[in-house]
Amino acid sequence: MFLHHEAEGIDKWLGGWGIETIIVAPVAMLIFAFVAMGYDPDAVSATFAAFVATSPVWLPLVLFIMFWRRWMHYIRFAFWFTQPMVLLHIELPAEVQKTPLAIELVLTALFNSGGETTFIARIWEGKFRAVTTLEIASTGGRIGYYVHLRRAWKDVFEARLYGQFPEAQITEVDDYVTALGYHPSTHELWGTEYKKSSPDAVPIRNYIDWGLDKDPDKPEKQIDPLTSILELFSVLGPDEHMWFQIVMKARKKDEWYGFYKKTDSYVEGGKKAIEDIFKEAVARAQSRVKDEQQKEAAAGRGVQLLSQPEKDRVEAIERNFSKLIFECGFRVMYIAKKDKFDGAKIGTIINFFVPFRYPNYNALGVTRGMQIFDYPWQDYKGIRRRMIQRRMFFWHKHRAYFYVPYDQVPVMMTTEELATLWHFPSSVVKTPGLVRVASRVGEAPPNLPTSRDALQGK
Q: Is 22 exposed, middle or buried (0-12, 13-18, 19+ CB in 10 A)?
A: exposed
Task: Specify whether the CB–CB gap between 147 and 134 falls below 8 A.
Answer: yes
Name residues of the chain where pLDDT drops below 50. 1-5, 444-445, 448, 450-458
- Taken in order of first residue, the domains within the chain and their CATH numbers are 4-53 (no CATH), 87-253+324-421 (3.40.462), 260-315 (no CATH)
d(CA 352, CA 168): 27
pLDDT at 157: 94
**What residues form DSSP beta bridges with 434?**
143
Q: What is the value of pTM for the model shown?
A: 0.84
d(CA 6, CA 18): 19
CA 284 vs CA 40, 279, 281, 289: distances in Å: 51, 8, 5, 10
pLDDT at 119: 84
pLDDT at 218: 63
pLDDT at 232: 92
Task: Specify whether the CB–CB gap between 372 and 18 falls below 8 A.
Answer: yes
pLDDT at 42: 81
Task: Specify whether the CB–CB gap between 357 and 210 falls below 8 A.
Answer: no
d(CA 205, CA 201): 12
pLDDT at 11: 55
d(CA 205, CA 313): 10
- Give the alpha-carbon dihedral of 393, 394, 398, 402, to 10 degrees: -100
CA 441 vs CA 94, 143, 168, 235: distances in Å: 9, 22, 10, 30
pLDDT tens per residue, range 140-189: 999 999 999 999 999 999 999 999 999 999 999 999 999 998 888 899 99
Cβ burial 212-240 (10 Å sphere, 16+ → b, else e): bbeeeeebeebebbbbbbbbbbbbbeebb
pLDDT at 215: 65
